[in-house]
């Protein structure tokens, strides 16, 4: 059962906030039917991260990696954004440039829900990158890329434009995310286990860069590594909690 007093408190913090930043993880897409990573039957189930989400894994067996990503692209064809995604798009509408959405997700559901300015710090499953000439191409999930897609320009092997483990995050997007977290007076942490770095460092960045730091509001089904750092931890599905907070702000989702 969602604690309504915390929903009201979160709405009051957002109401008086100057700059709002949000970090989302796989949990925000869970109610759309997209499996998270670390739950049982999660995305990593049956796969070793080293085999499917690292550059060495791709080098060793690109077909296995493409099977893993093509399967996720396939699943996304029957997936629509949930009210949590829509609520964040409406919050951006209300706050404009004082709002920054940072996501670890690669599924593109925030944009499908209407979010305009999305910082995809781990890349996107809807783009490919050529391993040879660096060509970046749009790859709509409806498109069947085949088992080992090749570059139209130089015919070398393509990879998903995704940040794998042991890879640097796209520096311009990462710096924008860090700045938004440091400038935030309210920071929402939605649907993430906060175990992956440097993404999870955005929470202490929001809390400690300026004094006073941001008020941190967590929305999750369970306590996480960062709950102790949060001013408010609202336990509940983000597709339910986020619309409740927006309702308190007079916005119907
Ligand atoms: C790097 C793309 C620098 C692939 C992903 C310290 C500093 C820097 C790096 C490290 C460090 N310590 C360790 C590292 C290395 C590593 C790392 O963090 N390892 C961890 C596992 C310990 N980090 C890296 O390698 C990063 N790169 O550091 O480079 C560098 C480079 C060269 C040389 C030196 C240094 C790259 C990290 C990016 C990896 N790529 N994704 C893909 O998606 O296929 S990470 C992957 O995990 C996803 O992006 C995912 O989003 C992310 C985080 O997971 P979550 O989103 O949180 O999902 P999870 O399932 O864990 O949790 C879901 C949560 O939702 C749960 O809490 C659940 O309770 C909740 N939930 C469920 N349902 C709901 C809900 N909440 C609300 N409502 C619901 N309905
Ligand atoms: Zn190429």
pLDDT for the residue numbered 44: 65
Rounded Cα gap, residues 196 and 15, in angstroms: 30
Q: Which of 22, 23, 24, 26 maximizes ligand 1 atoms within 8 Å of its Cβ, making it the mutation to test the pocket?
A: 26
Q: Which residues of the chain have pLDDT under 50?
A: none
Q: How far is the CA of 201 from the centre of ligand 1 (A)?
A: 11
Distance from chain centroid for Cα 107: 8
Percent of the chain whose predicted confidence (pLDDT) is above 90: 93
Ligand 2 centre from 71 Cα, in Å? 23
- Is the full-model pTM beyond 0.85? yes
Tell me if 34 sits within 8 A of 21, measured CB to CB: no
CA-to-CA distance for 8 and 251, rounded, in angstroms? 14
The pLDDT of residue 140 is 97
DSSP string, 30-42: HTTT---SSSTT-
**Quick count: other Cβ atoms within 10 Å of Cβ 130?**
21
Any bridge partners for residue 235, and if so which?
220
* pLDDT score recorded for residue 37: 78
**Residue 203: CB within 6 Å of ligand 1?**
no
Residue 43 confidence (pLDDT): 66
How far apart CA 132 and CA 154 sit, in angstroms, is 8
- From the CB of 192, is ligand 1 less than 6 Å away? yes
Give yes or no for a contact between 220 and 10, defined as CB atoms under 8 angstroms apart.
Answer: no
Nearest ligand 1 atom, CA 52: 44
Q: Is the distance from the beta carbon of residue 38 to the nearest atom of ligand 1 less than 6 Å?
A: yes
The per-residue pLDDT for 48 is 85
What integer pLDDT is reported at residue 58 of this predicted model? 97
pLDDT, position 49: 86
Nearest Cα neighbor of 63 from 52, 74, 79 is: 52
């Amino acid at each position: 059962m969602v604690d309504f007093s915390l929903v009201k408190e979160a709405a009051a913090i957002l109401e008086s906030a100057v700059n709002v930043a949000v970090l989302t993880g796989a949990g925000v897409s869970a109610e759309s039917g997209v499996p998270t990573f670390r739950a049982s039957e999660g995305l990593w189930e049956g796969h070793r991260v080293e085999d499917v989400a690292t550059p060495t894994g791709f080098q060793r067996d690109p077909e296995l990696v493409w099977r893993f990503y093509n399967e996720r692209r396939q699943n996304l064809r029957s997936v629509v954004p949930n009210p949590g995604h829509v609520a964040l798009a409406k919050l951006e509408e209300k706050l404009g440039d004082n709002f920054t959405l940072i996501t670890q997700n690669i599924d593109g559901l925030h944009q499908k829900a209407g979010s305009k300015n999305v910082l995809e710090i781990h890349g996107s499953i809807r783009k490919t990158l050529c391993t040879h000439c660096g060509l970046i191409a749009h790859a709509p999930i409806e498109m069947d890329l085949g088992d080992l897609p090749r570059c139209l320009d130089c015919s070398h092997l393509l990879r998903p434009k995704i940040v794998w483990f042991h890879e640097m995050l796209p520096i311009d997007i990462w710096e924008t995310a860090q700045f938004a977290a440091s400038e935030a007076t309210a920071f929402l942490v939605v649907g993430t286990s906060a175990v992956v770095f440097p993404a999870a460092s955005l929470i202490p960045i929001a809390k400690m860069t300026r004094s006073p730091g941001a008020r941190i509001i967590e929305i999750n089904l369970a306590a996480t590594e960062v709950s102790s750092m949060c001013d408010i931890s609202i336990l509940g599905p983000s597709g339910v909690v986020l619309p409740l907070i927006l309702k308190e702000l007079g916005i119907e989702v």
